[in-house]
């Protein structure tokens, strides 16, 4: 008959199995892992590592807890349990700041590598890197999202029907490292240094537009300085001064302070305000082209543009990119530059004789 005995003083994760034959003779000692307990312990340790790394990245327990959808108490306890397990302090805490200890710096480096390897292993095991499937979470600035990204999604899904899309249109760039979005499409003068991977998709600009009705009543400015005598519609964006327009033309760059009766934060809403005859506004080329072609908009000061901006696709920098993100970024690379370039070429081709008569 077999007897199974746990020897005194053993680790709770280890059981010694003592096997005896029919005559009572000892056959063998075999060490057996309590697999489920060890798995739970390892999972808890990995989660504590994630919390420790996030606390360092966020700079506080409060910010880390919010980004992890946890509580300050749980996050703080996870770090404390790590320190107790390691028998060393990882963070020096004060009421104002956190600072890594030398041991904490070394542990952070190892944790980051371990967590990255775990992420890669899980994604490889699920074949996420081989076949585009699941929810692709996108972010885009509102106007470029409506003009370029939404039509691109339709074409992309025709190629990859197993991918569903969750698109957020917002004028503010989300924290892509928090995982709320996989890819963001934005316009910017330039990008600050960051760990994000950036792909430049093209260059565009904004132009001044008015409605035929506004022009009929108020006329058009002949030089940029005349804008101060017109109602100027303001497009508010996080990256630009609200009442400052920088025009680029044959005479170089010129900064103007402008004011007007209406301010909006999305270019598509500004298109509607301009068509209603409320004043002169700045529109991205891709928002103005249709109106210029059909006569519902008139370009003002056509020798001038407002500052050029680049269109970027951004996604978190990591060693492994899943198939849906990779294929979407590659699709943008092959699709958007052509559309952006086409709209800029149309702007150059829109000479007075090619523009339809304004609709009054």
Rounded Cα distance, 318 and 196, in Å: 9
Give me the pLDDT at residue 318, please.
63
Half-sphere exposure of 24 (CA within 13 A, CB side): 0
- DSSP 8-state code for residue 121: H
Rounded Cα distance, 295 and 298, in Å: 7
SS3 at position 306: strand
SS3 at position 233: strand
Residues of the chain with pLDDT under 50: 1-40, 353-360
Rounded Cα distance, 268 and 189, in Å: 20
Rounded Cα distance, 172 and 87, in Å: 43
Going 106 to 109 to 113 to 114, the CA torsion angle's sign is: positive
Place of tokens 């149309």: 346
User: What is the maximal distance between C-alpha atoms in the chain?
Assistant: 113
Nearest to 336 by CA among 156, 125, 73: 156
Rounded Cα distance, 267 and 70, in Å: 37
Contact 165, 328 (CB under 8 A): no
Pairing label, strands 183-188, 244-249: unpaired
Residues sharing a CB contact under 8 Å with residue 177, sequence separation 6 or more, in sequence order: 57, 195, 316
Tokens for 224, please give them.
Answer: 């940029």
Nearest to 104 by CA among 53, 50, 44: 53
Give me the pLDDT at residue 42, please.
61
Place of tokens 């033309």: 249
Contact 298, 213 (CB under 8 A): no
Angle, CA of 337, 343 and 348, to the nearest 5°: 125
At 288, give phi and psi (nearest 5°).
-95, -25
Contact 232, 306 (CB under 8 A): no
Distances from the Cα of 308 to the Cα of 194, 203, 303, angstroms = 22, 7, 14
Going 324 to 326 to 329 to 334, the CA torsion angle's sign is: negative
Please name each of the domains of the chain with its CATH number. 37-125 (1.10.10.10), 139-360 (3.40.190.290)
Rounded Cα distance, 9 and 327, in Å: 55
Rounded Cα distance, 48 and 34, in Å: 21
Give me the pLDDT at residue 8, please.
36
Angle, CA of 53, 74 and 115, to the nearest 5°: 25
Contact 269, 262 (CB under 8 A): no
Give me the pLDDT at residue 268, please.
83
């Amino acid at each position: 008959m077999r007897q199974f005995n746990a020897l005194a003083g053993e680790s709770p994760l280890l059981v010694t199995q003592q096997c005896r034959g029919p005559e009572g003779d000892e056959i063998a000692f075999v060490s057996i892992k309590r697999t489920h307990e060890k798995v739970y312990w390892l999972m808890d340790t990995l989660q504590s590592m994630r919390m420790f790394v996030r606390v360092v990245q966020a700079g506080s327990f409060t910010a880390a807890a919010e980004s992890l959808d946890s509580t300050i108490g749980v996050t703080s306890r996870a770090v404390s349990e790590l320190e107790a397990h390691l028998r060393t302090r990882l963070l020096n805490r004060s009421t104002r700041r956190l600072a890594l200890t030398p041991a904490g710096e070394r542990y952070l480096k190892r944790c980051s590598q371990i967590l990255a390897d775990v992420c890669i292993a899980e994604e490889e095991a699920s074949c996420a890197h081989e076949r585009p499937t699941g929810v692709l979470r996108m972010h885009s600035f509102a106007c470029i999202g409506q003009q370029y990204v939404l039509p691109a999604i339709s074409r992309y899904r025709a190629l990859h029907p197993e991918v569903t899309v969750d698109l957020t249109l917002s004028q503010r760039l989300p924290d892509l490292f928090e995982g709320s979005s996989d890819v963001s499409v934005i316009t910017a003068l330039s990008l600050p240094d960051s760990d994000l991977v950036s792909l430049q998709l093209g260059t565009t600009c904004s132009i001044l537009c008015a409605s035929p009705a506004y022009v009929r009543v108020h006329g058009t400015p002949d030089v940029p300085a005349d804008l101060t005598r017109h109602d100027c519609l303001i497009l508010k964006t996080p990256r630009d001064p609200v009442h400052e327009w920088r025009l680029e033309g044959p005479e170089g760059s010129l900064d103007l302070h402008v004011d007007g009766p209406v301010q909006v934060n999305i270019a598509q809403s500004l298109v509607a305000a301009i068509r209603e005859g409320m004043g002169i506004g700045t529109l991205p080329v891709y928002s103005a082209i249709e109106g210029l072609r059909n006569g519902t908009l008139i370009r003002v000061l056509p020798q001038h543009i407002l500052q050029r901006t680049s269109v970027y696709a951004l996604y978190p920098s990591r060693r492994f990119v899943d198939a849906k993100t990779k294929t979407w970024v590659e699709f943008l690379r092959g699709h958007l530059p052509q559309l952006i370039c086409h709209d800029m070429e149309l702007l150059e081709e829109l000479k007075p004789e090619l523009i339809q008569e304004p609709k009054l």
